[in-house]
């Protein structure tokens, strides 16, 4: 018997979380071994290690408590990795030296897999005078380009993630350039972007007033507030960015408002953090806590929930001590405040299992009830830890209890904190759980609605044949197991059928009992009117949300998969690029056709010769392998490594054009070169350009900077199929979807946000 509820769950575990030796030999022989490894590692700081190891194991068992991916993959491995998910970096000084010091810190943090956030509002605007030099400032956007290039370089060197969040205040003089930056699809691709919107600005928008754009006390421009708001709304309507963060609300509610000011968040927005702030994440799987699912008396077991939350808080508090940190400043910040971000996943599935429609009044009531129970249990558990181990070092009872969040907390919880203190300054957050939700059996992620009841996942085998694997939502599969072929009740709704206002209501309901923030995507239809779209954001502001992120499918963000109905005897069109994930690499034929290119890098004595060989599958020609050779022995090691890595990627199939993009983005700090009238930032970028020209010549991609020449529509006879956008850069599947503010692959779990 397997603990996994679906084949994809076991595949995610094997790819993402299973401990293996460097030669890919498994150390964790079963998922029970993974749970045991985590439980043992997090019990190391306990006096009674054996007792707590067993309690931690029981919490992890059957996917009831899901620590975030970095904990699941890294705890107990002895690897030099951080177990924290979220970082906001130090305040960027308005000086060249300070800016590049911050760039170095960002690179060190991302090397260990941390997603980072930065507020670029502290950099003087474009055109401002720079004292002491005969030049004007280039502005924060130019430095964001440098950060973006650095992130690409870190990723090309093998970093696990490259996620960044950039924020800018709504009164910064360069805010209009910030808003429109993503209109260039090639710019700032490594960033998620959000505008820090103040209460004063929102009041000016509602009143139709003017708004000053200023820096360091100087007003640079005065604009119409509604016009600026419309610019923000139009950009996110067209490009899904920037998001909106209601920054005053975040600081007013912050338990630590007496000792920190927040101006940025982690990449997905669920963790507003101060300079050098760090937070780890974990989720209670509500779908596993429903008793008698689909029966009349079905309900979440709140006693079991409270007990599980209590153990989870202790595990996460121990993680603060067990984790490494990229920077000493991050370690000091984490130890001083002991922030944790405990949330939930499987909310929508749990609602279905108790017979409630997501977005309804009853769903709002239950969401508030369950999240209140989580918050109450978490705070009381943290009080117990304070009695045993001490409160967090910066705890000040009077100031802590005066914060916006604590004023609405239950009286007995407030009294316990006043008497004993509290171990963790903040405790709750709703994180992106795309990958761990797949690992837990494809439960609905976070507080999101069910995205699709079922969809087909196509796998290309070594012999070129295709197999299909159905991926079914956890609650839907349970309905099938219990009710057979009985039709789904009408309260089964998904992200595509919900009104945007219902999304907002659910986010607002959850926010009442979440002391940090929430990562959630509000899906809106492609044909939503602009005024109705703006109303979504105004509703989010008026109902107490701390931010708002929407996703409107269109030609730029990715459109919904079209579904073709076929008769039973109509053969499926055999389009080679349709199936793009392979269980194993293709075997190499005895002979292949290819082309050899000569590349002469300026100032280099020897040329580089690059051969690209192709294979034909289902009538389509695609790259299969590369060979890179040079007489320059300085190039030997990296050309061999590049040959092997690129060939391995090509043999996995799929839309491998991302290889070109990544190579072309690599810059050499020693400087690039001008070639054929264009500046090429590195020799690796030049190699990427050669490969790109080859892919164009064989018809694999449409042109320079473009993707597949043809984007075949998969013939999936399934009205609940997920949206189709760009191919996943990890596995190649057309299974990327916006999950809680971040594009995530539902086939392999890849996410740029971690």
Catalytic residue among 268, 545, 548, 728: 268
Q: DSSP assignment of 22-85, as one string?
A: TTS-BS--SHHHHHHHHHHHHTTTSSSHHHHHHHHHHHHGGGSEEE-HHHHHHTTS--S-B---
Question: Token digits for 425?
Answer: 């300054």
Using the 8-state DSSP alphabet, how is residue 92 labeled? P
Alpha-carbon dihedral angle through residues 38, 41, 43, 45, given to the nearest 10 degrees: -150
What residue ranges in 600-636 does DSSP mark as E strands?
A: 608-617, 620-630
- Of 258, 291, 290, 260, the closest CA to residue 277 belongs to 260
Question: Is residue 176 annotated as a catalytic residue, yes or no?
Answer: no
State the alpha helices, DSSP H only, in 572-635: none
SS3 281: strand
Q: How far is CA 83 from CA 70, 173, 317, 451, 515, in A?
A: 5, 37, 12, 28, 21
Rounded CA-CA distance 319/316 in Å is 5
In sequence order, the 6+-apart residues with CB closer than 8 A to the CB of 28 are: 18, 19, 20, 34, 37
Rounded CA-CA distance 67/78 in Å is 18
State the alpha helices, DSSP H only, in 208-276: 225-239, 247-253
Rounded CA-CA distance 284/320 in Å is 19
- Identify the H or E element spanning 130: strand 129-130
Catalytic residue among 266, 318, 424, 523: 266
Contact (Cβ atoms closer than 8 angstroms) between residue 286 and residue 370: yes
- Identify the H or E element spanning 278: strand 278-285
In sequence order, the 6+-apart residues with CB closer than 8 A to the CB of 262 are: 88, 247, 250, 251, 254, 272, 273, 274, 277
Question: Is residue 151 annotated as a catalytic residue, yes or no?
Answer: no
State the angle between helix axes of 140-156 and 96-111 in degrees (0 to 180), rounded to the nearest 10.
Answer: 30
Question: Is residue 270 annotated as a catalytic residue, yes or no?
Answer: yes
Burial class for 118, CB neighbours closer than 10 Å (0-12, 13-18, 19+): buried
β-strand pairing of 340-345 with 278-285: parallel
State the alpha helices, DSSP H only, in 338-473: 347-353, 361-389, 397-401, 411-420, 434-439
CA dihedral (524, 530, 532, 535) positive or negative: positive
Catalytic residue among 53, 105, 260, 270: 270
Q: Which of 347-375 are b and which e, b meaning 16 or more Cβ less than 10 Å from the residue's Cβ?
A: bbbbbbbbbbbbbbeebbebbbebbebbb
Kindly list the catalytic residues: 266, 268, 270
């Amino acid at each position: 018997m397997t603990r996994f509820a679906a084949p994809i769950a076991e595949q995610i575990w094997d790819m993402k979380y299973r401990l293996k030796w460097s030669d890919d030999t498994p150390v964790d022989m079963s998922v029970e071994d993974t749970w045991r490894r985590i439980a043992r590692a997090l019990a190391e700081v306990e006096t009674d290690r054996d007792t707590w190891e067993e309690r931690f194991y029981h919490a992890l068992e059957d996917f009831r408590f899901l620590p975030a991916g970095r904990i699941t993959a890294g705890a107990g491995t002895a690897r030099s990795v951080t177990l924290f998910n979220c970082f906001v970096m130090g305040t960027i000084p308005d000086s060249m030296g300070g800016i590049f010091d911050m760039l170095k810190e960002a690179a060190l943090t991302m090397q260990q897999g941390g997603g980072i956030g930065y507020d670029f509002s502290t950099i003087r605007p474009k055109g401002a005078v720079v004292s002491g030099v005969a030049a004007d400032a280039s502005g924060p956007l130019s430095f964001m380009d440098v950060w973006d290039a650095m992130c690409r370089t870190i990723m090309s060197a093998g970093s696990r993630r490259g996620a960044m969040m950039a924020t800018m205040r709504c009164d910064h003089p360069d805010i209009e350039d910030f808003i429109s930056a993503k209109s260039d699809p090639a710019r700032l691709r490594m960033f998620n972007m959000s505008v820090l919107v103040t209460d004063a600005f929102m009041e000016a928008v509602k009143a139709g007033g003017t708004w000053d754009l200023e820096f360091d006390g100087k007003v640079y421009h005065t604009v119409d507030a509604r016009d600026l708001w419309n610019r923000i709304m139009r950009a996110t309507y067209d490009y899904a960015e920037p998001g909106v963060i209601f920054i005053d609300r975040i600081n007013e509610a912050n338990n630590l408002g007496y000792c920190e000011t927040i101006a940025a968040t982690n990449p997905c927005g669920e963790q507003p953090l101060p300079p050098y702030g760090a937070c780890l994440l974990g989720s209670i799987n509500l779908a596993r806590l429903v008793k008698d699912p689909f029966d009349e008396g079905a309900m979440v077991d709140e006693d079991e929930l409270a007990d599980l939350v209590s153990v989870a808080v202790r595990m996460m508090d121990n993680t603060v001590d067990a984790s490494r940190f990229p920077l000493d400043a991050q370690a000091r910040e984490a130890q001083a405040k002991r922030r944790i971000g405990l949330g939930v996943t499987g909310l929508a599935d749990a609602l279905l299992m108790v017979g409630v429609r997501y977005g309804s009044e009853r769903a709002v009531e239950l969401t508030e009830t369950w999240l209140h129970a989580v918050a109450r249990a978490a705070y009381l558990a943290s009080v117990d830890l304070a009695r045993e181990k001490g409160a967090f070092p910066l705890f000040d009872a009077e100031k802590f209890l005066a914060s916006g969040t604590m004023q609405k907390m239950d009286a007995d919880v407030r009294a316990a904190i006043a008497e004993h203190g509290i171990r963790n300054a903040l405790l709750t957050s709703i994180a992106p759980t795309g990958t761990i939700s797949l690992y837990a059996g494809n439960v609905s992620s976070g507080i999101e609605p069910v995205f699709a009841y079922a969809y087909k996942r196509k796998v290309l085998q070594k012999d070129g044949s295709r197999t299909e694997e159905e991926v079914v939502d956890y609650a839907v599969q349970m309905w099938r197991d219990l009710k057979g072929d009985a039709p789904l009740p009408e309260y089964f709704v998904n992200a595509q059928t919900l009104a945007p206002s219902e999304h907002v209501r659910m986010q607002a309901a959850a926010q009442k009992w979440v002391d940090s923030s929430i990562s959630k995507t509000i899906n809106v239809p492609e044909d939503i009117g602009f005024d109705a779209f703006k109303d979504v954001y105004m509703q989010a502001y008026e109902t107490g949300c701390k931010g708002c992120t929407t996703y409107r499918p269109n030609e730029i963000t990715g459109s919904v998969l079209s579904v073709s109905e076929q008769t039973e005897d109509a053969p499926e069109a055999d389009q080679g690029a349709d199936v793009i994930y392979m269980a194993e690499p293709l075997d190499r034929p005895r002979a292949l056709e290819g082309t050899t290119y000569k590349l002469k890098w300026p100032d280099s004595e020897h040329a580089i010769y690059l051969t690209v060989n192709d294979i034909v599958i289902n009538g389509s020609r695609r790259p299969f392998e590369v060979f890179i050779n040079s007489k320059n022995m300085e190039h030997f090691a990296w050309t061999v490594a590049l040959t092997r890595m690129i060939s391995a990627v090509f043999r996995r199939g799929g839309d491998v054009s991302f290889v070109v993009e990544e190579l072309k983005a690599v810059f050499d700090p020693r400087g690039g070169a001008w070639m054929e009238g264009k500046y090429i930032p590195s020799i690796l970028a030049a190699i990427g350009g050669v490969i790109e020209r080859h892919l164009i010549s064989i018809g694999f991609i449409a042109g320079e900077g473009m993707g597949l020449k043809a984007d075949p529509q998969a013939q999936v006879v399934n009205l609940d199929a997920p949206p189709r956008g760009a191919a996943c850069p990890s596995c190649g599947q057309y299974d990327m979807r916006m999950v809680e503010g971040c594009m995530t692959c539902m086939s392999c779990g890849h996410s740029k946000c971690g």
